[in-house]
Amino acid sequence: MELRKQPERHIAPNIPDEWFVPKASNQAEAEAVVRPSLSYWQDAWLRLLKNKLAMAGLTFLILLTFMAIFGPMMSPHDMTEQKLVNQNLPPSSQHWFGTDELGRDVFSRTWFGARISLFVGIVAALIDFIIGVVYGGFAGYKGGKADHVMMRIVEILYGLPYLLIVILISVVMGPGLFTIIFALTITGWIGMARIVRGQVLQIKNYEFVLASKTFGTKTSRIIRKNLLPNTMGPIIVQMTLTVPSAIFAEAFLSFLGLGIQPPFASWGSMASDGLSTILSGHWWRLFFPAFFISLTMFSFNVLGDGLQDALDPKLRR
Amino acid sequence: MTTYIVKRLFAMLITLWLIITLTFFLMHAVPGSPFNEERATNETVQKNLEKFYHLDKPLYVQYGLYLKSVVTFDFGPSIKKSSQTVNEMLGRGFPISFELGMITLIVAVLSGITLGVIAALRHNGIIDYLAMTIAVLGISIPNFVMATLLIQVIAVNWQILPVATWVSPKHMILPTLALATGPMAIIARLTRASMLEVLTQDYIRTAKAKGLSPVKIVFKHALRNALLPVVTVLGSLAASILTGTFVIEKIFAIPGMGKYFVESINQRDYPVIMGTTVFYSTILIMMLFLVDIAYGILDPRIKLHKKEGS
Amino acid sequence: MEKVLEVNDLHVSFKTYGGEVKAVRGVNFNLYKGETLAIVGESGCGKSVTSQSIMRLIPNPPGRITNGSILFKGKDLTKLKETQMRSIRGADISMIFQDPMTALNPTITIGEQLVEGILQHKSISRQEGKKVALEMLDLVGIPNPQERFKHHPHQFSGGMRQRIVIAMALVCKPEVLIADEPTTALDVTIQAQILDLFKDIQKKTGVSIILITHDLGVVAQVADRIAVMYAGKIVEAGSRREIFYQPQHPYTKGLLNSVPRLDLVGAELVPIGGTPPDLFSPPAGCPFTARCSYAMEVCDRAYPFKTHLSQDHHVDCWLQDERAMNRLTSVK
């Protein structure tokens, strides 16, 4: 080392002379990475676990699924079993959630309603997902003119008032489960298509994808390692949030008399029937379907919010 | 800006045309509708129908004539209420529905923005958690459940407010509240998220470095930019409020268009369903159009850049 | 020379999930009237935190000034109330941020953004405020200010925007201007123009400038004095000549060796290996030890004493100790 100017010298007090010897090499230590590396999904899962509200939502949904499957079997009363002598009984050890005006067991009917709601929600979300991924993925991947035309179509469809169309289709096709799902998905996929297309478009040109290509990485590996983690996040979130809106739409249609028809039950139709009893004090007929539909939508919404936070790659730390 | 407006206008017209066409052919496809085989129960009604829809002519002529009458805002007669036209029903019912919808929209926007801004400014505080829990509850409770809950507790148990109808401001509180909760919650969440993002922007730091007061920073620099995404959802919120009026009017026995619409659905009064759908779609699409224009005015960058995400 | 700003033993910490990050750990420096002081260092060394602490713009929570004082004209800025601080920000001390593309509010005209700063601190009419703003736009070299006044930020180029940002910082004739990486986001040719503008403005207004940068090229052009920061401490400071031609700290030397220089043709560019230490638990000794090729046992055990080499030039390094000197000369 070269010193052009010799400044005054110092001797620091209380520092022993023998410390002034070269230090053993520590280059490795300097280069060591402290943070343990977790895969994207592990990391997201850990962060979801920390979100108490989302976990509560998830727990409830698991319980609800269990009850939707086994609930109707737990009650000694079939959901369509009518006993007029038993009409409008309050909750008791015989009928845990009470009975309705035809003497049917509200407990059995509530869990049957859960089946309908979950089925409609999940099937609608799945169909939206499939159509959305195919349409949006194609538009985003192709780009150019095809993308332009496809997105103009989406833009026009986006202007359609969703529930009005659903009502219209239900009127035309006659009420029923199939009609509801058909009506819901006919406009429902648009949101998903927009998201997928945006994601694909954005990621197609990411430098790390280009970098992988230049390294000669196989396409399947690029999709699995790069594209999926970065596109799946928003898609999963969108799906989680589609479920409650489908559940709401089913209940809304059933409430208007366009949904599930008697003797079958859905939370919407049960609430609609229960509405007339509000003044007569038969609160249980309204309370149980209303409570469970709200709690289910709440659970899906908080789970969706939690997933959104957990799956955002930019929030990783 | 002009090309932008023209473009939006064009898209709007196509959407409208699509809806009119869709409703027309769907209604003609319904088995048992008076447009194909079934005859109306009432002789005069049937005559009115044939006269208005030109049922004796080929389908494409019917379609052309229907388009023409829709353009002049004439939706023809009802088939269940013999002496009434759809226009008369709209004239009677729509002002009430409009009143309910507008009050709801104003309440939802004002309270939603306030809640969202407060939550963002108290980020991660108790008020924030409280406001956001209320907001998730708000989007999770369907409006018909909210309505029945309010009736049960406030009108029946406590007897503070009237149970139903739409005659005085006092009667308007519960229906508006029931209908506004969901949109309010959506606006509150959106405002909060957008406000939080804006508050981390460099220009907010610049404003602080200028020595501006927090009030000025929030209201002049942050709020306007934070509200841009809120403006974009107003159109779809208006749509959800409008469809919400159907159930709310049914529950509260409000004599608005929604109540007529629900009745017409249950009675399969096809011309009314058709007319109302077209009428409401027109309003909603015009709403979306106005929102787009408003966005263009609020965001000076829109003149140069294409709208994102479309 | 008149001292405008005096920073003593400044400590700033951030509370995070992982614990407390000690971003600034005892920083001392003075700023004299009309000079340009450059604070240089790698990203994360605490230079931006130091500058934002002077403006009291550290987001709190999580950030907090835990110790030390910042004296401006005899007032300790760390002890001022927020309202008092507000009357200083933009009026007596101004700040310019890195990215001119995002530093301006996109929905407000640049004229309004200039005038609001003036009206905040001076009780003059809007009309007079506009006059001041126009003069300032002219001073920073915006052609056609009268017309540009009504334009929105997106209608300007990056270099023009940075000129507007500078004009905004100068409208109230501040005594201190803090520029945090003012040229990093700009093209090289624009960089030179902006640096010239700084020199020009300093000549015209006598403002003292603190220039925060990682770019030694920028420093060489405009700085009178240089402070080198590493892991939350100023490890060496001195005049521009002293730092460029007689660097003492191995880190300073490393920085100089890692940038191309016109005055040392043929010199090899040598990057500094390794990364700065984790500031959750900063080492007790010299934080540079792990990356230092001269490291001794003592470096790990104790933080070096400050050695003054001239009136301005001082360095924190054990190599300045006579015993290290003896060893090195004997090795040679």
Q: In this predicted structure, what is the pLDDT of residue A59?
A: 92
Q: In this predicted structure, what is the pLDDT of residue C60?
A: 76
Q: Which residues contact B121 (CB under 8 A, 6 or more apart)?
A: B195, B218
Q: In this predicted structure, what is the pLDDT of residue C262?
A: 65
Higher-pLDDT residue of A2 and B43 is B43
Q: Do B265 and A167 touch (CB under 8 A)?
A: yes
Q: Is the peptide bond before A7 cis (omega within 30 degrees of 0)?
A: no
Say if domain B100-269+280-298 classifies as CATH 1.10.3720.10: yes
Nearest CA in chain B to C95: B209
Q: Do C102 and B201 touch (CB under 8 A)?
A: yes
Tokens 């593309």, located at residue: C101
Q: Give ranges for CATH 3.40.50.300 in chain C.
A: 3-92+172-331
Tokens 């090899």, located at residue: C268
For residue A6, pLDDT beyond 60: no
From chain C, pick out residues whose CB is under 8 angstroms from the CB of B300. 106-107, 152, 154
Most C-contacting residue of A4, A8, A17, A23 (CB-CB within 10 A), to test interface: A23
Write out chain B's pLDDT in tens, 310 residues.
677 788 888 888 888 888 888 888 887 777 666 665 555 566 666 777 777 777 777 788 888 888 888 888 788 777 777 677 888 888 888 899 999 999 999 999 999 999 999 999 888 888 888 888 889 888 888 888 888 888 888 888 888 888 777 878 888 889 999 999 999 999 999 999 899 888 888 899 899 988 888 888 998 889 988 888 888 888 888 888 988 898 899 888 888 888 888 888 888 788 888 888 888 888 888 888 888 888 878 777 765 444 433 3
Measured distance CA(A69)–CA(A115) in Å, rounded:
7
Q: For residue B210, give how far its alpha carbon lies from the nearest alpha carbon of chain A (Å).
A: 30
For residue A216, pLDDT beyond 80: no
Q: In this predicted structure, what is the pLDDT of residue A45?
A: 82
Contact B135, B180 (CB under 8 A): no
Burial-class residue A6 by CB neighbours within 10 Å (0-12, 13-18, 19+): exposed
Could you give the C-alpha distances from C259 to A124, C229, C263, C265, in angstroms and in order?
59, 17, 12, 12
Q: Do C298 and A27 touch (CB under 8 A)?
A: no
Q: In this predicted structure, what is the pLDDT of residue B304?
A: 41
Please, which pLDDT band fits residue C265 given cuts at 50, 70 and 90? low
For residue A94, pLDDT beyond 90: no
Q: Any chain C CB within 8 A of the CB of B208?
A: yes
pLDDT, average across residues C60-72: 85
ipTM for this prediction:
0.82
**Which CATH code for domain C3-92+172-331?**
3.40.50.300
Which of A40-49, B171-180, C242-251 is least confident? Answer: A40-49
DSSP string, chain B: -HHHHHHHHHHHHHHHHHHHHHHHHHHHHSTT-TTTTPPPSSHHHHHHHHHHHTTTS-HHHHHHHHHHHHHTT---B-SSSTT-BHHHHHHHHHHHHHHHHHHHHHHHHHHHHHHHHHHHHTTTSHHHHHHHHHHHHHHHS-HHHHHHHHIIIIIIIS--S-SS--SSHHHHHHHHHHHHHHHHHHHHHHHHHHHHHHHTSHHHHHHHHTT--HHHIIIIIIHHHHHHHHHHHHHHHHHHHHHHHHHHHHHTT--SHHHHHHHHHHTT-HHHHHHHHHHHHHHHHHHHHHHHHHHHHH-GGGGTSPPTT-
For residue A23, pLDDT beyond 80: no
Q: Do C120 and B212 touch (CB under 8 A)?
A: yes
Q: Do A12 and C290 touch (CB under 8 A)?
A: no
pLDDT digits 0-9 by tens, A73-90 = 777 777 677 777 667 777
For residue A282, pLDDT beyond 70: yes
A284-287 contact pairs (CB < 8 A, 24+): A284/A90, A284/A91, A284/A97, A284/A98, A284/A106, A285/A88, A285/A98, A285/A100, A285/A101, A285/A106, A286/B148, A286/B152
Nearest CA in chain C to A8: C309
pLDDT, average across residues A282-293: 82
pLDDT digits 0-9 by tens, B195-221 = 988 888 889 989 998 888 888 899 888
Q: For residue B286, give how far its alpha carbon lies from the nearest alpha carbon of chain A (Å).
A: 10
For residue C119, pLDDT beyond 60: yes
Quick one: what percent of chain A has pLDDT higher than 90? 4
pLDDT digits 0-9 by tens, B150-194 = 888 888 888 888 877 787 888 888 999 999 999 999 999 999 989
Could you give the C-alpha distances from B256 to A231, B93, B260, in angstroms and in order?
45, 4, 7
Q: Which residues contact C33 (CB under 8 A, 6 or more apart)?
A: C1, C2, C3, C4, C175, C206, C208
Q: In this predicted structure, what is the pLDDT of residue A240?
A: 82
For the packed helices B257-266 and B270-298, what is the interaxial angle rounded to 10 degrees? 140
Q: In this predicted structure, what is the pLDDT of residue A62?
A: 92
pTM: 0.82
pLDDT digits 0-9 by tens, C272-299 = 777 777 777 778 888 888 888 888 888 8
pLDDT digits 0-9 by tens, A126-179 = 999 899 888 888 888 777 888 888 888 887 787 777 778 888 888 888 888 888
For residue C39, pLDDT beyond 90: yes
Work out the number of other CB atoms within 10 angstroms of the CB of residue C332: 6
Q: Do A169 and B26 touch (CB under 8 A)?
A: yes
Most A-contacting residue of C293, C296, C297, C305 (CB-CB within 10 A), to test interface: C297
Q: In this predicted structure, what is the pLDDT of residue B37?
A: 52
Q: Which of C99, C107, C117 sits opposite B210 (nearest CB)?
A: C117
Domain boundaries, chain B: 100-269+280-298
Rounded (to 5) percent helix, strand, coil in chain A:
70, 0, 25
Instruction: Supply C274's token pair.
Output: 């390794």
Could you give the C-alpha distances from A108 to A94, A264, A269, in angstroms and in order?
12, 11, 14
Q: Find the length of chain C.
A: 332
For residue C122, pLDDT beyond 70: yes
Q: In this predicted structure, what is the pLDDT of residue B41?
A: 60
pLDDT digits 0-9 by tens, A291-310 = 888 999 899 888 888 888 88
